[in-house]
Structures are given as structure tokens and as C-alpha cells.
Structure 1
Amino acid sequence: MRVFRIAYKAYTQDLTPSKANGRWAAAGKAVVYAAGSVALAVLENLVRRKGEGFNDDYNIMVIDLPPSLKVQTITADQLPAGWNDILDYSKCQPLGNRWYDEGKYPVLKVPSAIVPREFNYVFNTNHPDFNKVKLVEVTGFIPDPRIEELLKSG
């Protein structure tokens, strides 16, 4: 399976975690986030950047997950109301932190807060099977400028 990540070019040579605070992992956890499609990766980035668009400083990272890799899945119907609140990670972080700390699965498949029928993927870079996750391609990325214009006008 292929998943996708959009990041600054300076951070696209490998799958190094930022250890920043996120919806599914508290600050300090060595995780990397990716999306199930390039389109979802674009949406996740635009929302996180609050409408500030991309420039030629960004790349798309194509990541391969082998079929043998164990993945824990959480679906939207398993989550409490408000799990997708844009500012409150308190309903998701404990689940992600538990997944990370237990160390049973190298990958956590979670619903996107933007499009709950789509999925994001969280990688535990400290898991022994993380070495099976491969960065297979890095390409430049500048989306259509109309996307940023729409976000800024709304």
C-alpha cells in the first residue's frame, strides 16, 4: 500500500519524526504522519497551515507499507463525539499514546478529522518493524493557486 506525506523539502530525505504535538500523539513521541492519498495530504496540510498555501519549498513523499506490516485501525464510529475538534486533541491523543507506548503495531490507521471516511497513518518510528516502511519517491509539489485563494476568501 502507498501513503503520502507533504513536507518541507528539507525534511523529505527520510522519515524522521518531528516529535511535535499532534492529534494522535503527544509531543515527544517519535511518530510520522501520512495520508491515504495525495488529495488528503493536501487538505491536511492546508488546514494545518490555516489557508497559507504552498510554494516550491514542499515535496510529496510516497511511502510504501508492505502487506505483511501489522496495522492497528481506529474508525470514526469507535471515537467519542468531538474527537475531530480542531483545537482539542484530548479524545484522540490518549488512544494514540497508548498505541505508541504498547508498541504492538508499527502503524496506526486513523480517520481524518477533515474527511472521516478517509484515513491517515501514524508510524511509530521506534517500533522494530518500522524499518519495513520505505520512502520510495519524493517529488516536487505546488498545488493550483486557486485552492489557496478559496481558503483565503472564505
Structure 2
Amino acid sequence: MILYRLAARKYIHDVSGTGARLYGGRWNPVGSAGIYTSEHISLAFLEKYVHASAKENMQRIALLTIELDEGAVTIFNTDDKLLKKSWADDISYSQWLGAQILADPAIVAFSVPSAIIPGERNFILNPAADHFHLVKFAKVVDFTTDFRLLNKLLD
């Protein structure tokens, strides 16, 4: 399985989950480390965009390609039908659920539905997992896009 992560160039090589641990996220509370990734580059871009406070946050970013061997690591897939209907609007609920999953050292990654694009998935990697060393952080490349899009979105 191939996953993608977009981040500021200066943080792209940090695979400790420190940012998520310090600030929390939709699927992890403050204090719980995780690395947010997406199944598609376009979804990773949109996820980065919704958290950008300025156009500058979308410049000087890099794309990290990540490989997970589904046969070698445990990936937990959340069942969308079992999630509370208002999960996308209830950060406390999704953070609580994510904290439970991240607390299991057997789970290297877990998939969750995207709040931005229904039907697509994000994956949160667990840097504290017993077999995290099996995650392959492949190539990093500078990420560029047609900045006409950003100019329209961030004006």
C-alpha cells in the first residue's frame, strides 16, 4: 500500500509524530503522536490546504511517499458504519477513538474516512507501534502545484 504525506520541507523527514502530539488532530488528542497520511496525493493536498492559515503555508512543502506492506504490519480499518453519525463534527469523539487505537502497540496504522472527500481515506501511522520500523519512508520530492488554484482559494 502506498500512502502520501504533504508537509513543510523542514518537517517532512520528522516521522516521530511530534506535530500531532503537540497540537492534536482530528484523530488524536494532544499528547498522542501520529503521522497523518492519505491514500491519494490530491487528498493529502486538500488535507494540507484546509489546515493552512495563509498561502505561505502551502508553499515550500514536500511530498513524502510511504510504503506499507499490508502482510507485514497491522492496519486497522475503521468501519464507517460503526462511527457515530456526527463524527466529522465531534472532535472529542474522533480524538477519543483515535487515542484508543494509537494506544495499541500492535497497530501500525489505522484508516479513517476523510471529512473533506466522502469515500476517500486517510491513514494515521502510529510511531509507537512495535513494528513501526517496517514502514518504508520512500522518496521525498518538492511539491508544486498550479498556484492559480491557491491564489483563488486563499485570497
TM-score normalised by L of structure 1: 0.89
Corresponding position: 1:32 with 2:35 = yes
**Equivalents in 1 of 2:78, 2:48: separation in Å?**
21
Question: Residue in 2 aligned with 1:16?
Answer: 16
The structure that is helix-richer by fraction is 2
Q: Report if the CA contact (8 A) 2:111-2:123 is conserved.
A: yes
**Equivalents in 2 of 1:75, 1:119: separation in Å?**
11
Question: Residue in 1 aligned with 2:151?
Answer: 149
Question: Residue in 2 aligned with 1:89?
Answer: 91
**Equivalents in 1 of 2:54, 2:86: separation in Å?**
23
Aligned partner of 1:44 among 47, 53, 57: 47
Q: Report if the CA contact (8 A) 1:110-1:121 is conserved.
A: yes
Q: CA RMSD of the aligned region, Å?
A: 1.6
- 1:10 Cα offset (Å): 1.0
* Identical-pair percentage: 29
> Cα 1:103–1:117, aligned 2, differ >3 Å: closer, same or farther?
same
Aligned partner of 1:64 among 63, 67, 83: 67
Unaligned runs of 5+ in 1: none
Q: Report if the CA contact (8 A) 2:52-2:58 is conserved.
A: no
Question: Residue in 2 aligned with 1:110?
Answer: 112
Runs of 4 or more off by more than 4 Å in structure 1? none
> Cα 1:150–1:77, aligned 2, differ >3 Å: closer, same or farther?
farther
Q: SS of 1:72's equivalent?
A: strand
Unaligned runs of 5+ in 2: none
- 1:142 Cα offset (Å): 1.8
Q: SS of 2:66's equivalent?
A: strand
* AA at the equivalent of 1:108: F
Question: Residue in 2 aligned with 1:100?
Answer: 102
**Equivalents in 2 of 1:28, 1:104: separation in Å?**
19
- 1:30 Cα offset (Å): 1.7
TM-score normalised by L of structure 2: 0.89
